[in-house]
Structure 1
Amino acid sequence: MAQSIYHPATSRGYVDLGWLKSYHTFSFGNYYDPQRINFGALRVLNDDTLDGGHGFGEHPHDNMEIISIPLSGGLKHIDSMDNVAVIGDGDIQVMSAGTGIFHEEHNDDAQAAAQFLQIWVYPHTLNVEPRYDQLTLNKADRHNKLQQILSPGKEDSGVWIHQNAWFNLGRFDKGLTAPYVIKASANGVYIFIISGTVKVNGQTLSTRDGLGIWETDKIELELLEVSEFLLMDVPMSF
């Protein structure tokens, strides 16, 4: 029988630094809940709003797959591998921190706020050579269908990471259904609603709610209104 865990948007951790407002689905920084450390290999799901002209100064990471998905505005990225880039709505960025990387990121606009999802996934292999990649996605490819944006394979759709994980974005019209078959028997799927209202296996989810499901091979989403959502298919043990 399928197992599930529901994380309403209002239950998330929250930090307001003035220039940064961030909601944490899982324990992060000063927010700690021993019942909400991770969902399998999914370690961090932060919903960040960064004021214009502000950002995160240079800081290190290691042995983590770090994914950024902008929802509005643009982020300027600089790292110790000499990458300098701006990512915006419609892009996805990934860093394999591996043996260690330093980076910084700032709102590329001096005035308007930028919104983005920051996601960390535990890798299946430690101490890999650090790497950076980004990709501009065709947003039309997620209208009433699932758009794969991340996978374990270099030749597969989207960016890739060192983990047996697949991410999909979808934007569906009201009244439709979106079936999804979980990619690997050891995996579960975490659904995060970016906007709208969706019913998943009998559980109604609204904007910024999350639901993790495992010990099943498929799920079906029923669109109760026009909605955009992110599906993260990740190993439950790693």
Structure 2
Amino acid sequence: MGQVEVIRSGQRRHWWNEWLDSRQSFPVTGNFVLEDYAHGVLLVHNEDIVGPGEGFDTHQHRDTEILTWVLEGTVVHQDSAGNSGVIHPGLAQRMSAGTGILHSERNGAGLLERERLHVVQMWIPPDVLGADPGYQELDVAGDLRHNALVPVASGMSRHRSEAAIGIANRHATFHVARLDPGHSIAVPDAPYGHVFIARGTVDYEGHGVLDQGDVVRLTATGGHRVTAVTAAEVLIWEMDASVR
């Protein structure tokens, strides 16, 4: 039987220090076995507020597909494979850590600019361990103005050709919808789903009003309508396998 679990923003794991405020759909801080808390193939789904001039200094990842989606501000990215860039709202970034990569990511605003960074970072495992590291970024803002659910990143055969960027996991697709008030989209019907209200307020069919930061975890269900009450942005993972 299908299951719909609504998790309010205040129920998500909360971790913070003097420059980082992180709300986590799955516990990450201090957790070294991410698969134990995953939903589908989604290992990490962090919503972070990063102070001006701050960020994560150079650190290593291995055998992880990392997607970064900026809601406000900019991320300055640099890695040991020679990739660098400034990631802004509407620009999708995917880094495949593969055999190992060092990278840093910081708020592009300086200390005196006072502009915060609001960013969502998501991790999934790759299909194959030990592959070469990879990197891709693409501005998809123009595709998100049509009150539709847009596959932004995918490794699924049914979405791969229409998605803006690829990911090295054949079981997952990352969708984004920007909705004007009164417009709606249908959540994909899939073995596993993760719906995140990134901005605004929506009505989730059968489960009432959801606000910014709320999450819905779906198991063996979908097709529900999500209707914008105010202007909204919705991030959805469609998955047909689980790491558990």
TM-score, normalised relative to structure 2: 0.88
Question: 1:225-236 to 2 correspondence within 5 Å?
Answer: 225-236=230-241
Pair 1:167-2:174 in alignment = yes
**Structure 1 residues 131 and 35, CA, compared in 2 at 3 Å: closer, same or farther?**
closer
Pick one of 129, 151, 155 that aligns with 2:154.
151
**Structure 1 residues 198 and 87, CA, compared in 2 at 3 Å: closer, same or farther?**
same
Pair 1:215-2:220 in alignment = yes
C-alpha distance in structure 2 between counterparts of 1:140 and 1:156, whole Å: 11
User: In structure 2, what residue type is equivalent to 1:81?
Assistant: A
Q: After superposition, give the CA deviation of every residue in 1:6-44 in whole Å (9 maximum; x if it has no partner).
A: 211001111221111111110111479x99811110011
Question: 1:30-109 to 2 correspondence within 5 Å?
Answer: 30=30, 37-109=37-109
Question: Contact 2:195–2:235 (CA<8 Å) still a contact in 1?
Answer: yes
Question: Contact 1:39–1:236 (CA<8 Å) still a contact in 2?
Answer: no
How far is the alpha carbon of 1:72 from its aligned partner?
1.1
How far is the alpha carbon of 1:217 from its aligned partner?
5.3
Q: Tell me which residue corresponds to 1:189.
A: 193
Count matched residues: 235
Q: Secondary structure at the match of 2:132?
A: coil
Q: Which runs of 4+ in 1 moved over 3 A?
A: 153-156
Q: Report sequence identity in percent.
A: 29
Pair 1:16-2:20 in alignment = no
C-alpha distance in structure 2 between counterparts of 1:58 and 1:35, whole Å: 24
Q: Tell me which residue corresponds to 1:127.
A: 130
C-alpha distance in structure 2 between counterparts of 1:211 and 1:181, whole Å: 13
Q: Tell me which residue corresponds to 1:5.
A: 5
Q: Secondary structure at the match of 1:58?
A: strand
How far is the alpha carbon of 1:222 from its aligned partner?
2.8
**Structure 1 residues 31 and 237, CA, compared in 2 at 3 Å: closer, same or farther?**
closer
Q: After superposition, give the CA deviation of every residue in 1:128-155 in whole Å (9 maximum; x if it has no partner).
A: 1110111111245343111221111664
TM-score, normalised relative to structure 1: 0.90
Pair 1:179-2:186 in alignment = yes
How far is the alpha carbon of 1:74 from its aligned partner?
0.9
C-alpha distance in structure 1 between counterparts of 2:90 and 2:168, whole Å: 22
Q: Tell me which residue corresponds to 1:206.
A: 211
Q: Secondary structure at the match of 1:145?
A: coil
Q: After superposition, give the CA deviation of every residue in 1:78-106 in whole Å (9 maximum; x if it has no partner).
A: 10101111111111111111111110111
Question: Contact 1:14–1:31 (CA<8 Å) still a contact in 2?
Answer: no
Question: Contact 2:194–2:215 (CA<8 Å) still a contact in 1?
Answer: yes
C-alpha distance in structure 1 between counterparts of 2:240 and 2:187, whole Å: 16
**Structure 1 residues 46 and 220, CA, compared in 2 at 3 Å: closer, same or farther?**
same
Q: Secondary structure at the match of 1:89?
A: coil
C-alpha distance in structure 1 between counterparts of 2:11 and 2:145, whole Å: 28
Q: Secondary structure at the match of 1:42?
A: coil
Q: After superposition, give the CA deviation of every residue in 1:38-79 in whole Å (9 maximum; x if it has no partner).
A: 111001111111111111111000111101001111111110
Q: Secondary structure at the match of 2:239?
A: strand
User: In structure 2, what residue type is equivalent to 1:145?
Assistant: A
User: In structure 2, what residue type is equivalent to 1:177?
Assistant: S
How far is the alpha carbon of 1:124 from its aligned partner?
2.1
C-alpha distance in structure 1 between counterparts of 2:35 and 2:62, whole Å: 24
Please, which moves more after superposition, 213-222 or 69-78? 213-222
C-alpha distance in structure 2 between counterparts of 1:106 and 1:95, whole Å: 15
